[in-house]
Structure 1
């Protein structure tokens, strides 16, 4: 090493750690000690260089994440403590530098300690529970109240050191990918005088196991900059030395055979900026997708931001999905939350897949950063936010400004998960060519029949009334102005025609809608009933004769599917993408978007023809089966495993 030895580099890091431990600032220490900075830079430049290339599988991602963690990032000068393993097991721990390791292993063995591989799933679960409990019970800075090591089950090489009485003393878990292994978890599980010997015994056995598997390098997952002096000394005693490691680009996501198939249940993190009924279909879709993830046997966590506890969904809506709610930061727009960034920094690497249910929000940007940092594949579910209509009508100037970053985001993600083939065709207009997959969203069938008669009575409507129902968010793009005017024209010819508008949304538009209704020739024909959920929504569907969604653009359309599941005929515009499938199934009528005359004529024709409505309703059962959560859960589980295996292209447009 030119000018500075590795021990001196360790001393520089040690002084930095002592300064930080005493309450000082790392930056302040570096500014006051420029000589240390120059000597450290010269030492890092002189370190031996290793090259690594990792797969896209769980073990490869864990190893890649090692070089993306830590508060200090060195880029191409990234360095870690690495053991260069020998070619033969009998050479492990040999030589003068390893004499302390050999002596400690002899003492540990004489004390009755034994180190064993752990392959039994029940024993692994027991050790994880002990590890979590031990971390939560530690004093001071060593305590981790949120300890959750369930992600360790993804990795193959487990070692445990047991006392002479059979008590677990230490757990070691090491991902292995090609010629590299990583010390992913290495902690004692109990107090006592044998802890030191257990550490040396576990390191020696780990090196032997890796050599038998053909591994050449064992890397520690912690940055040497923030390592306590005691651990740095222990590393030197067991053979670790500092090396610069250049990580080569991973194989392109989407090419077949880039990664092995994942083992066991997946851990999927679903991310949404805001949650709640007022957010409309995208929020409901994110919750539904998270629930089907759980129904498929995988673990699902929903990460979101909140301004108040009242925004959170209830347990009956979430089911078995874990919820993490981070408070929003000032000024609250774009779901800004620095707490969410910290949570992702600490936990993103524990997941197999990150699914982001939006594009233009702060959480989406944070997940992009977390995915690049941790090596966990990122999947984008835009829920219509990349449609030309949305790009042109919602903050168009900002979206034009962000278009270069958007193309980079789409190219970086493992897949863009869409709900209609028309969405896939529209992506070409953004200048990006990401890997895409198209599947339908899950929509729950009614859990109990609705009380149609009771709903009619609550509005003062008789059994003779012909109810046209709208369910959804109050927004200009939903075509509600056209719909109320169309029903008003139909009412002039058929006094039985009634429109029920159920939903909440933009207060300004809601005020405009009420004003338009008040100015109609037949304002009593329109009932604005606000948001309906649960049993009340089922009652409205049971009372209706026809469901209408004449929207300017819908990438899917959950409400029409809910109407079909309730046995209703459906009338939609040709810009409601789910209408393509519903019309093909014979349960929906499609009219041109923006054509008010065609809308009023079709409503009048359907209300006047009970036999035609009955024919459409009769096809509802088979048409609705494609959207049932159990079926979607199985389909989505196949897609996620294909994303991780790099075989998405083999699924086709509609992976049934």
Structure 2
């Protein structure tokens, strides 16, 4: 079985989608599936320093990098070279799996796959949520009418990461066969000195709880709401230190820094920037609670990573794995409002035993439902079913609380 995954970019700074496609391919290959990635050399405002027009090893998986058109046109990331490569090579694959909607790479791959009669799977990665569709609404409506609806309706199957995402697909008017398969998280390699290292690096006293936000610094993720909630926490005399880890637009980061200063919490707020590898694990394993009050997350890889590190989490209903978090009592699911987020943080700041128990529950949730080995096994079954003309299997078993 030869599988091609297509995505606009695999820049590590782009977070979730890159993490997912690299791990999909890595674990499919470990099962003997000949899987590769075709993408561009996009790296946000810059370009990845990678060989072009040849198969290279990138982060341990085989990737074809084709030059993007500059400027990158944001998420659309046009690449005539990628389209030519797909036209010449897509017929050599048994199945194509695209990631992202409203982008050139996935659009070209789906159209060419149809023309050359190669079945394809689409991962929508949360782009059909009501919140996502409301962003650049007119452009997406036009793009849907001209292109995207056909891509979705002609797909062999649509991959959804949660039952909420499957509902969004149906509400969009798409009746293509779909399968629900969550994303995976790597097992945590314990760092026994993580708590000491994080406190030493950010000059935090041992008795002060650390609140961690680890995601893109983008208004969708609501770091501003978190800062405002902690401003109210300070007024109630609760101690904490906030670490905001992630990259973002310079203007937005300046806004967040000014907001923290205006609320009097600049001295207990640290901006860590983009983190990866051991630095990321030190934050996850050294913090005391994780907060992501996002407007919309089809899965939320960072949330699952936090739970894998035994961190209790605070999320909002826009995070589509929120029902599982609630069922396993792995954290608090609260409305996306200032008062609700503030109350949830205050609850966990003052309840060390509750934090510990929720951390244990979260690690159990990850082990039971988000193991990459299980997910790659299920994905292989889906691919096989499609190629054999069978219906997509249903892996969405009922959520079993702890």
After TM superposition, the score normalised by the length of structure 1 is 0.57
Question: Which secondary structure state, in structure 2, belongs to the residue aligned with residue 329 of structure 1?
Answer: coil
Question: Which secondary structure state, in structure 1, belongs to the residue aligned with residue 49 of structure 2?
Answer: helix
Report deviation, 1:615.
1.6
Partner in structure 2 of residue 514 of structure 1: 257
For the pair 1:329 / 2:82, whether they are aligned, the reply is no
Question: Any idea what the Cα deviations from partners look like across 1:280-335, whole Å, max 9, x if unmatched?
Answer: 312222222222222222111111111533379xx99732x211100012553222
What is the root-mean-square deviation in Å for CA atoms of aligned residues?
Answer: 2.0
Give the 5 Å matches for 1:193-204: none
Question: Any idea what the Cα deviations from partners look like across 1:17-59, whole Å, max 9, x if unmatched?
Answer: xxxxxxxxxxxxxxxxxxxxxxxxxxxxxxxxxxxxxxxxxxx
Q: Give the unaligned 5+ runs of structure 1.
A: 1-265
Partner in structure 2 of residue 260 of structure 1: none
8 Å contact kept, 2:257–2:266: no
Report deviation, 1:532.
0.9
Question: Which secondary structure state, in structure 2, belongs to the residue aligned with residue 461 of structure 1?
Answer: coil
Higher relative contact order (CA closer than 8 Å, sequence separation 6+): 2
Q: Give the unaligned 5+ runs of structure 2.
A: none
8 Å contact kept, 1:295–1:630: no
| Distance change >3 Å, CA 317–CA 647, structure 1 → 2 | same
Report deviation, 1:436.
0.9
Partner in structure 1 of residue 385 of structure 2: 642
Give the 5 Å matches for 1:529-608: 529-593=272-336, 595-608=337-350
Partner in structure 2 of residue 618 of structure 1: 360
Partner in structure 1 of residue 202 of structure 2: 459
| Distance change >3 Å, CA 529–CA 355, structure 1 → 2 | same
Whole-angstrom CA distance in 1 between matches of 2:283 and 2:49: 25
- Comparing 516-525 with 646-655, greater Cα deviation is found at 646-655
Partner in structure 2 of residue 391 of structure 1: 133
Question: Any idea what the Cα deviations from partners look like across 1:170-213, whole Å, max 9, x if unmatched?
Answer: xxxxxxxxxxxxxxxxxxxxxxxxxxxxxxxxxxxxxxxxxxxx
Whole-angstrom CA distance in 2 between matches of 1:559 and 1:317: 22
8 Å contact kept, 1:278–1:505: no
Partner in structure 1 of residue 243 of structure 2: 500
Partner in structure 1 of residue 163 of structure 2: 421
For the pair 1:401 / 2:137, whether they are aligned, the reply is no
| Distance change >3 Å, CA 655–CA 305, structure 1 → 2 | farther
8 Å contact kept, 1:291–1:318: no
| Distance change >3 Å, CA 295–CA 654, structure 1 → 2 | farther
Report deviation, 1:646.
2.7
Whole-angstrom CA distance in 1 between matches of 2:13 and 2:253: 13
Aligned residues: 386
After TM superposition, the score normalised by the length of structure 2 is 0.91
Report deviation, 1:649.
4.1
8 Å contact kept, 2:50–2:65: no
Question: Which secondary structure state, in structure 2, belongs to the residue aligned with residue 505 of structure 1?
Answer: coil
Whole-angstrom CA distance in 2 between matches of 1:396 and 1:329: 24
8 Å contact kept, 1:437–1:654: no
| Distance change >3 Å, CA 547–CA 647, structure 1 → 2 | same
Give the 5 Å matches for 1:31-180: none
For the pair 1:285 / 2:24, whether they are aligned, the reply is no
Whole-angstrom CA distance in 1 between matches of 2:286 and 2:58: 24
Question: Any idea what the Cα deviations from partners look like across 1:530-576, whole Å, max 9, x if unmatched?
Answer: 11110001111121110111111111011111011111111111111
